[in-house]
């Protein structure tokens, strides 16, 4: 990424406002860092906390030009400024994603939102309809789709290099909730509150990532699921496990399982896609290695900017082969792609097609439908349940 297409297109960086993600927030720091890596944004405004005093203090401490006491105040004020924000990035508790996304879109802002897009399918479809009505850009930060080797896998599948897809296995295994001591009392963290965090903690937190990665790499939809959702830690009140058998839109079969209660595990998101000619394997914990296993031939290892790299993957790498890139850079690829799409929209020109592979509002709604289908299947003793969403 030697050039800056946003400056070339608009003559300036995009002006970014962030909502949520104050000090102490892992994901807030990640969003702000990702926005800066490729120099396509200038952070001009923020409302970092639901507490007005903390919001103003934290914004000032970060050196942001215009800190606000609350999110709606930010949206109203920035919409009225000639040099106000162009883009709003949302990293708040799940139940507010719909409210802030809709308010931003209604005021003419392009939107970058943390996942999930919303807690309910009704709210997700509401955002999809507003994006279509306004023509604005909406990017959902399923950041694992920004990794070069995840994009290499997508490009290889699209090019037919593994043949017809027949089997898919995806898992996302964490151990952070393996201990039995959960928060208690009236002031629960928002993730432990089903109203704020959504109908399933594990599916909202990491299940949507695993489902999105299946769709991103294969280009297929999950048509039906036979699932189970619940907890494996005794007396826990929220979900820490979910699994499902999958039927894909081309007739392929798959398996999906996610947990946050596997003792000792860290952040193992892993996918295996088997076609009629080869199998691909990729793991987020070793992100620079894509294993390709052709029938009747030795296995190959593809690496960022190594031999056989497709343009979609090459675009996602900033340094020469053999140098590792990971979580920050994958996140930044989504911000950079969205920036090019936003700049192109504002300049009324066609964007680079390679910039248009970031997850959007439609992808977010399909993810919410998947979560609802797995929960409904589990409630019906694992009965096969339709997961397709026609939008």
CATH of the domain at 296: 3.30.360.10
Tell whether 169 and 205 lie within a shared domain: yes
48: domain range? Answer: 5-144+333-360
391 located within any domain: no
84 located within any domain: yes
Tell whether 97 and 161 lie within a shared domain: no
- Residue 44 buriedness (CB in 10 A; 0-12 / 13-18 / 19+): buried
**0.85 cut: is pTM over it?**
yes
312 located within any domain: yes
- C-alpha distances in angstroms, 373 versus 120, 140, 249, 253, 383? 12, 21, 15, 17, 10
207 three-state secondary structure: helix
Beta strand 253-259 with 241-248 is antiparallel
Tell whether 53 and 195 lie within a shared domain: no
- C-alpha distances in angstroms, 362 versus 3, 115, 120, 219, 359? 30, 12, 14, 14, 8
β-pair partners for 229: 242
Residue-level pLDDT at 152? 98
Contact (Cβ atoms closer than 8 angstroms) between residue 174 and residue 260: yes
C-alpha torsion sign, points 345, 154, 91, 126: positive
138 located within any domain: yes
How many structural domains does the chain have?
Answer: 2
- C-alpha distances in angstroms, 340 versus 9, 133, 138? 9, 21, 12
Tell whether 126 and 181 lie within a shared domain: no
Contact (Cβ atoms closer than 8 angstroms) between residue 55 and residue 69: yes
Tell whether 132 and 35 lie within a shared domain: yes
H or E segment and range at residue 130: helix 121-134
Residue-level pLDDT at 190? 77
384 three-state secondary structure: coil
Residue-level pLDDT at 2? 65
88 located within any domain: yes
Torsion from C-alpha of 128, 131, 137, 143, nearest 10 degrees: -20
Tell whether 310 and 343 lie within a shared domain: no
Region at 390 (left for phi over 0; alpha for psi -120 to 50; beta for the rest): beta
CATH of the domain at 101: 3.40.50.720
Residue-level pLDDT at 321? 86
**Segments of the chain with pLDDT less than 50:** none
Residue-level pLDDT at 1? 56
The DSSP symbol for 159 reads T
Tell whether 169 and 31 lie within a shared domain: no
59 located within any domain: yes
327 located within any domain: no
Task: Identify the CA nearest to 117 among candidates 134, 130, 108, 106.
Answer: 130
Contact (Cβ atoms closer than 8 angstroms) between residue 377 and residue 385: yes
Provide the token pair at 131. 């994006």
Tell whether 182 and 63 lie within a shared domain: no
Tell whether 127 and 178 lie within a shared domain: no
Tell whether 287 and 312 lie within a shared domain: yes
Tell whether 162 and 56 lie within a shared domain: no
232 located within any domain: yes
Tell whether 186 and 283 lie within a shared domain: yes
Contact (Cβ atoms closer than 8 angstroms) between residue 377 and residue 362: no
């Amino acid at each position: 990424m030697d050039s800056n297409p946003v400056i070339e297109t608009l003559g300036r960086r995009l002006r970014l406002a962030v909502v949520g993600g104050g000090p102490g927030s892992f994901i807030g720091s990640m969003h702000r860092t990702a926005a800066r890596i490729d120099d396509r944004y200038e952070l001009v405004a923020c409302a970092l906390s639901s507490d007005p005093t903390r919001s103003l203090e934290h914004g000032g401490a970060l050196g942001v030009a215009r800190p606000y006491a609350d999110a709606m105040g930010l949206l109203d004020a920035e919409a009225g400024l000639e040099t106000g924000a162009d883009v709003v990035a949302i990293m708040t508790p799940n139940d507010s994603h719909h409210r802030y996304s809709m308010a931003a879109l209604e005021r003419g802002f392009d939107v970058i939102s943390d996942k999930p897009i919303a807690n309910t399918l009704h709210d997700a479809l509401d955002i999809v309809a507003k994006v279509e009505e306004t023509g604005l850009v909406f990017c959902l930060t399923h950041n694992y789709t920004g990794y070069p080797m995840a994009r290499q896998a997508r490009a290889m599948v699209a090019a037919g290099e593994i043949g017809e897809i027949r089997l898919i296995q995806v898992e996302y295994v964490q151990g952070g909730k393996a201990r039995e001591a959960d928060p208690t009392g009236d002031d629960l963290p928002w993730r432990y509150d089903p109203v704020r965090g959504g109908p399933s903690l594990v599916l909202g937190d990491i299940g949507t990532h695993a489902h999105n990665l299946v769709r991103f790499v294969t280009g297929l939809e999950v048509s039906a699921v036979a699932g189970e959702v619940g907890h494996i830690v005794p007396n826990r009140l929220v979900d820490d496990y979910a699994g499902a058998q999958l039927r894909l839109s081309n007739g392929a079969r798959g398996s999906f399982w996610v947990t946050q209660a596997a003792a000792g595990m860290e952040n193992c998101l892993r996918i295996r896609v088997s076609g009629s000619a080869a199998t691909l394997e990729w793991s987020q914990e070793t992100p620079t290695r894509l294993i390709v296993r052709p029938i009747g031939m030795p296995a190959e290892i593809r690496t960022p900017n190594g031999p056989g790299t497709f343009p979609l993957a090459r675009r996602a790498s900033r340094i020469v082969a053999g140098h590792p890139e990971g979580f920050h850079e994958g996140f930044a690829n989504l911000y950079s792609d969205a920036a090019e799409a936003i700049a192109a929209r504002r300049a009324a020109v066609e964007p680079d097609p390679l910039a248009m592979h970031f997850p959007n509002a439609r992808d977010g709604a399909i993810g919410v439908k998947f979560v609802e289908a797995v929960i409904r299947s589990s409630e019906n003793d694992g009965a096969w349940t339709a997961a397709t969403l026609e939008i």
